[in-house]
Each structure stands twice: as structure tokens, then as C-alpha cells.
Structure 1
Amino acid sequence: MKKIALLLVLITTLVGCSLDNGDRDTYTYSVLPIETYELPAAFKLGQAYTIKLSYQKPSACHIYQGIYYGKELNKRTIAIQAAVKDNQSCTSEVPPISEASFNFTATATDSYIFKIYKGKGADDKDLFEEVEIPVIQ
């Protein structure tokens, strides 16, 4: 009987609680261009490399969300992912340059082509800088 009473209290407690606080934070997500990057002149097959990136957040309200890393055959598309909390007042002060990095290991003998996101063009199309890195054995 005690177990049934405890179970009823537990169910009532869980059903009575609402996770909706009515003031949900909403975010807008964006992709930021990469200002500078460090890539080696060549990759050695099977060796790990740290690829360093620097980027500029448009405001202090932009929150780093990670590195966008797209793979298609030997092409790697790289950009910075960010989020901005909606309805948040931001100062117009631009924060300092930020840095991020990721590890890359060459697992194929063909060259790799890195497509580095550089922003939007006048026609609102994405701009990329392509860098081909050979793999040596």
C-alpha cells in the first residue's frame, strides 16, 4: 500500500510540474566567415594536424557554437557556427578576434581541398577560398 501511495505522489508531482516557463529563450543561428587560417603545405598520410582558425564575432552577443565541417569526397568545407539570443540588447562594441581549432588526419593518398568560408558576396552568394593540400607518404 505504501508503494502505491508513493507512486501516486510521484506521478502527481511529475504531472503537476511544467517545464514551460513562458519565457523561452530563442536563438538565431548564423555562419561566420573565417578571417585567417593555418594549414600545412602538405599532409603526411596518417599524421594528425591541428588546423587553426580565427574569426570575428559581429557583436558580443554572438556565441560560438562550433566549427562547421562538411565532407564530400576529398573536399572539406570549413566555417564557424554561432548563435545570437533573440531580443537581447547588445553593445555596438566589436569583440576581439576569436580563435578555434580542430584536428585533421589525412587518411587518403589524394590531395585534400579545403573550402574556407569567407562570407557573402555582393550577389548574396557564399564565398569560399579553396586551398589544395597534397598528401605525401
Structure 2
Amino acid sequence: MKKIIFLSFLVVSLFSCNISDDAPNFFYEAQPVVSVVIPDSFQLGETYEITLTYIKPSGCHVFNNLLYESDLNQRDIAVVTAVFPDQGCNEVPEEEEVNFNFKVNNTGSYIFRFWQGPDENGVDTYLVIEVPVED
């Protein structure tokens, strides 16, 4: 009896699956940061808006998020876009800005490393900006 129930369940499971994939085809891609607007100094406990400019390679690229990693007072930041290659988008690159708020919680200087893409040897390069925290 258990075998019949198991086989019935297996047959129903196989025929109830929908194999068609109607989900949009996309992938994520990091975009190099071209420029940054950031204060020359910070005050402890304050929050600051930081603006990044990056080049969107085509209309198929849509801002998704910022990749943000911290290690003590160092921050590594990259722009991440979602790419929808099946959309028939224009291939005209355009500049786009994105902002984020940064709260100053530590004394000393903050070192921001904004990802600018790989060099000719495939090594990641960064725009490095050091911002001191004033008392």
C-alpha cells in the first residue's frame, strides 16, 4: 500500500510541475565609480550624504544596490546594477548618481575605497579618499 501511495505521489508531482520559465532573465554586475561628492571632514555623531557617480553602460542596466563592506574605519564601496539582457535596450552609456547616508560613529579618520574596476592586469583599483573626524 505504501508503494502505491508513493508512486501515485511521484506521478502527480512530475505532472504538476510547470517547466516553462516566465521569470525575467537578469544578472548582477558591478559598475565602476567615476566620482564622489564627500565632505572634507566629519563631526562625530553626525550623518552625511555621500553621492557617487557611475556610468550605466546601457538601458538594460538598472541600479540595484551598493556593495558596502566595512573593516574598522575602512569602507569598500561599489555600485551594483541588475542587467536585463533580453529587454532590447539602448546601448548608450549614461551617467547616473546614487546617494547614501553615512553616520560617523568613530574617531580618527575614515578611509573610503570606491571600486573603479580592474586594471589591465585584472587587479581591482579604487578611488581612495580619507576623511578625518574632527572633535
TM-score range, shorter chain: 0.7 to 0.9
| C-alpha distance in structure 2 between counterparts of 1:58 and 1:86, whole Å | 12
Dislocated runs of 4+, deviation >4 Å: 16-21
Q: Which residues in structure 2 correspond to 1:120-135 (within 5 Å)? A: 120-135=118-133
Q: Which residues in structure 2 correspond to 1:52-131 (within 5 Å)? A: 52-94=51-93, 96-131=94-129
Deviation per residue, 1:20-68 (Å, 9 max, x gap): 6423323221110111111111100001100011111011100110111
Corresponding position of 1:51: 50
- Could you state the TM-score of these two structures normalised by the residue count of structure 2? 0.80
| C-alpha distance in structure 2 between counterparts of 1:124 and 1:45, whole Å | 37
Corresponding position of 2:41: 42
| C-alpha distance in structure 2 between counterparts of 1:22 and 1:102, whole Å | 35
RMSD of equivalent CA atoms:
1.9
Corresponding position of 2:6: none
Q: Percent identity?
A: 33
- Could you state the TM-score of these two structures normalised by the residue count of structure 1? 0.79
Over 3 Å counting, the alpha-carbon distance change for 1:92 and 1:48 in structure 2 is: same
Structure 1 gap segments, 5+ residues each: 1-15
